[in-house]
Amino acid sequence: ITRRDFLKIAAATGGVAVAGTSVVTSVLGLGKKPVSLPQYVPTTCEMCFWRCGVIAKVVDGKVVKLDGNPLHPNSRGKLCARGHGGIGLLYDSDRLKTPLINTGKRGEAKFKKVSWDEALGFVADKMQKIKAQYGAESIALLTHGTISTYFMHLLQAFGSPNFAMPSFALCRGARGVAFEVTYGEDVGNPERLDIQNSKVVVLIGSHLGENAHNSQCQEFAEAVGEGATVIVVDPRFSTAASKAKYWLPIKPATDLALLLSWINLIIQEELYDKEYVAKYTVGFNEVAQAVKEYTPEWAEKETEIPVSLIVQTARIIGKNKPHVLIHPGRHTAWYSDNVQRQRAVAILTALLGAYGRPGGIYLSPKKKLEPVFLSEKDYPAPQKPAINKGNYPFAGEEGVTHAIVKSTLTEQPYPIKAWFITGTNIMKAMPNQRDTLQAVQKLDLLVAVDMMPYDGVMLADVVLPECTYLERHDDLFTVKERAFGVSIRQPVVQPMYDTKPGWWIAKELGKRLGLEEYFPWNTFEDFLKMKCQTWGIDYSELVKNGYISFPESEKPYITADNQPKFKTPSGKIELYSKELKEKGFDPVPKYTKHPQPAEGWFRLIYGRAPVHTFSRTTNNPSLWELMKENVAWVNAKVAKKMGLKNGEYIILINQDGVKSNKVRIKITERIRPDCIYLVHGFSTTSKLLHRAYLRGADDQQLITRYDIDPISGSVGMRVNFVKIAKEV
């Protein structure tokens, strides 16, 4: 792409405009006459993990606009509001600016500014002491995002296998396990959903549009525009529900009952794809037998969805096969049976013949690139077995965060004495903040690598400030869309303040730990060039275009000469899972009843807003202008009975007596009377975040209890009940 093309693109790209960027515009000095011509630099977004292609417009060394890269399949020329709001992150005056060491007690955050040399020397010295006393394995890493690559590498080189990411147990882990058990692979990240060709889209708690994943939202809008029937199953009338023909306001925690009754009816009425099931699956008879008891009449009692609607929607789903997308979800950390609920989604998808078919879940591109590691050197074998997967037989490679918390608290099977927290806000991501705080007090060292002084960072002994994604190189991203591709992240501007890229921090710490051999490159660009050479990619083209596609790899659907290979023990789609059976779990999902709230109590449910990602954007000047705080959704009849007024402040108190910060009430018909809904991530307790400090209520503070799915270690966070108190 030439500069001229970029100019055209920048003019043509629509996307969502970010209003009220007053803080940012003043930093940029907009209005002044530019002295140089604008430059257009392609890179990859990290405002969430969809990782869209971005084109940054830079004037006089300042980023003035971000747009979607039309070559990149995740952005298709557009960004979401958060993507545009990346400028707000870059120029947020609350950013971490230098390395810091806490001079007070842990959590007092009495930080003194130090040099990189002092901070890294301090951390390396502590790490060596902890290793000598407890072993390298007693240093654990809680991590999220691109930075994970470098710190997992560093810690493994040091001798610790103990890392965990919230993206497994607190997010999409249960779905991954369910699809791996059934199909031999997960549905991908981004998910391989062929929404643009779906005739029926079924969203079970997936609030597309509020949960803004760029290309998925674009495809959803296209499908709606083309007249797809949308069925939304949600206790709340979500934005997606407003586009739906059917809204099923399900009683929370009963989704598996609905799914099993749909499966039963589709089998009974022979609406499944017989040929597909015979050719590609095993275990049909066992499933048919097992789901017989789950009649629509039974499901009505569990779900509170009228039987007529259950039957009607099942028939629509069955009759439109295979062009039906039962959305497999993403944040699936709901209850103790997360894997079995997602298994039901996977089984239903197979019965409809929708895996590998237009409008369903497309096949992953077969193209593979040879792995290129940060170094060729093998990691030393850990002296003690890893604790990061707990005792969950299907826990994924990303680890289970609560296993690390538990071992830190109990010192079993051995003590954990240091945490690195890189790119994750441990106070907002993990449930039961009391456990997290107690575990933190047991540590000899807590190091945070972050860009912003969020809650978790305030607990750290040493804070290492990373520069933002707009100021750094990162490892290449492989994109498994319909066709395979590779995307680059490169600096758009030089790092501000005394901040450094994650790879640099890991390498410098590695040097001080005697691990230079694990970082055999000078700059990260050297590594990326070598990687491109191994992959046969033209580095300069990648730098220029931001994204390289391999169109020949595009074979998304099953055809006579494109047959799927299922990496399951039977080589087929396992409707009945022998693997689960052998490990002591139900081979076909069975319904589990979960407790419901008592009179006067409400189930706390939570979700996302399109302009924020978890807690990480709540202080972003551009995005904060769009949504400064969350509100508590309360059903209108409940509010009337309690004499509550729209917009007044209330406090939520959970079953363990934990009180939330004050939060405005939103009185609405759009939620069931037995639930209260909050957008996740608000109410930071960090005073260094001037905009976000104590704005709204923190859902995580109220999630003092959680269930654990014994198959995967996936967490059930929707098991807390709250009551309403007026603010005093």
- Residue 424 binds ligand MGD (CB under 6 A): yes
| Residue 168 C-beta: closest distance to ligand MGD, Å | 9
Residues 68, 53 contacting (CB under 8 angstroms)? yes
Q: Angle of helix 296-303 relative to helix 255-268, nearest 10 degrees? A: 170
In the set 703, 708, 711, 719, which binds ligand MGD (CB under 6 A)? 703
SS3 assignment, position 504? helix
Among 119, 277, 348, 429, binds ligand MGD (CB under 6 A): 429
**Is 156 within 8 Å of 164 (Cβ atoms)?**
no
- Binding to ligand SF4 (CB under 6 A) within 27-46 occurs at 45
**Cβ proximity of 123 and 720 under 8 Å:** no
Query: Which backbone phi and psi does 160 adopt, to 5 degrees?
Result: -110, 125
CB of 232 to ligand MGD, least distance (A): 18
Of the residues 469, 484, 527, 624, which one makes contact with ligand MGD according to CB under 6 A: 469
Separation CA 436–CA 128 (nearest Å): 24
* Residue linked to tokens 């969203």: 203
Stretch that binds ligand SF4, among 50-58, 218-226, 314-322, 351-359 (CB under 6 A): 50-58
CB-side exposure of 7: number of CA atoms within 13 Å?
A: 6
Q: How many residues bind ligand MGD (CB under 6 A)?
A: 34
Nearer to ligand SF4, 510 or 607 (CB): 607
Where is 155: in which H helix or E strand?
A: helix 148-158
Q: Report how far residue 467's alpha carbon sits from residue 498's, in angstroms, rounded to the nearest whole number.
A: 9
Is residue 699 at the binding interface for ligand MGD, with CB under 6 A as the rule? yes
The reply to whether 318 sits near ligand MGD by the rule CB under 6 A is no
The footprint of ligand SF4 on residues 51-70 (CB under 6 A) is 51-52
Cβ distance to ligand MGD smaller for residue 138 or 148: 148
CA 464 to chain centre: 24
- Of residues 214-253, which lie at the interface with ligand SF4 (CB under 6 A)? 214
Q: By CB under 6 A, which span of 80-88, 223-231, 446-454, 623-631 interacts with ligand MGD? A: 446-454
Of 216 and 281, the one with the shorter C-beta distance to ligand MGD is: 216
Region binding ligand MGD by CB under 6 A among candidate stretches 8-16, 564-572, 607-615, 662-670: 607-615
The least CB distance from residue 344 to ligand MGD, in Å, is 21
Q: Please state, in angstroms and rounded to a whole number, the distance separating the CA atoms of residues 247 and 244.
A: 6
Q: Is the peptide bond before 190 cis (omega within 30 degrees of 0)?
A: yes
**Closest approach of ligand SF4 to the CB of residue 74, in Å:** 6
For residue 182 the two structure tokens come to 């059934």
- Does residue 3 contact residue 545 with C-beta atoms inside 8 Å? no
Rounded to an integer, what distance in angstroms lies between the CA atom of residue 576 and that of residue 585? 11
State how far the Cα of 11 lies from the Cα of 5, in Å rounded to an integer.
10
Written as six digits, the tokens of 654 are 């959970």
For 54, phi and psi rounded to 5 degrees?
-120, 145
Closer CB to ligand MGD, residue 273 or residue 450? 450
Residue 48 sits in the site that holds ligand SF4 (CB under 6 A): yes
Q: Which range in 152-160, 207-215, 361-369, 523-531 contacts ligand SF4 by CB under 6 A?
A: 207-215
Q: How many angstroms separate the Cα of 588 from the Cα of each of 260, 470, 573? A: 10, 47, 13
Is residue 684 a contact residue for ligand MGD (CB under 6 A)? no
CB of 209 to ligand SF4, least distance (A): 12
570: Cβ contacts below 8 Å, ≥ 6 apart: 282, 578
- Establish if 167 lies at the interface with ligand MGD (CB under 6 A): yes
Instruction: Select 400 or 537, whichever has its Cβ closest to ligand MGD.
Output: 400
Classify strands 484-487 and 547-550 as parallel, antiparallel or unpaired. Answer: antiparallel
Q: Is there binding between residue 56 and ligand MGD (CB under 6 A)?
A: no
- Residue 311 or 703: which CB sits closer to ligand MGD? 703
Regarding 47 and contact with ligand SF4 (CB under 6 A), the answer is yes
The contact mask relative to ligand SF4 for 69-88 (x = CB under 6 A, - = no) is: ----------xx-xx-----
Among 350, 452, 627, 697, interactor with ligand MGD by CB under 6 A? 452
- Least CB distance from residue 211 to ligand SF4, whole Å? 10
Sign of the CA dihedral with 176 first, then 230, 666, and 85 last: positive
Using alpha carbons only, what angle is made at residue 206 by residues 659 and 556, rounded to the nearest 5 degrees?
150
**What distance in Å separates the CA atoms of residue 198 and residue 536, rounded to the nearest whole number?**
36
- The minimum distance between CB 144 and ligand MGD, in angstroms, equals 4
3-state SS of 68-79 is ECCCCCCCCCCC
Shortest CB 337 distance to ligand MGD, Å? 18
User: Whole-number minimum distance, CB 678 to ligand MGD, in Å?
Assistant: 9
Q: Does 204 bind ligand MGD (CB under 6 A)?
A: no
CA distances from 721 to 114, 273, 654 (A): 45, 41, 6
Decide: 548 and 45 in contact? Cβ < 8 Å: no
Residues from 612 through 671 that contact ligand SF4 (CB under 6 A): none
Binding footprint of ligand SF4 on the chain (CB under 6 A): 45, 47-48, 50-52, 79-80, 82-83, 212-214
Binding footprint of ligand MGD on the chain (CB under 6 A): 46, 144-145, 147, 166-167, 170-171, 331, 422-425, 428-429, 449-452, 454, 466, 469, 502, 606, 613-616, 680-681, 699-700, 703, 717
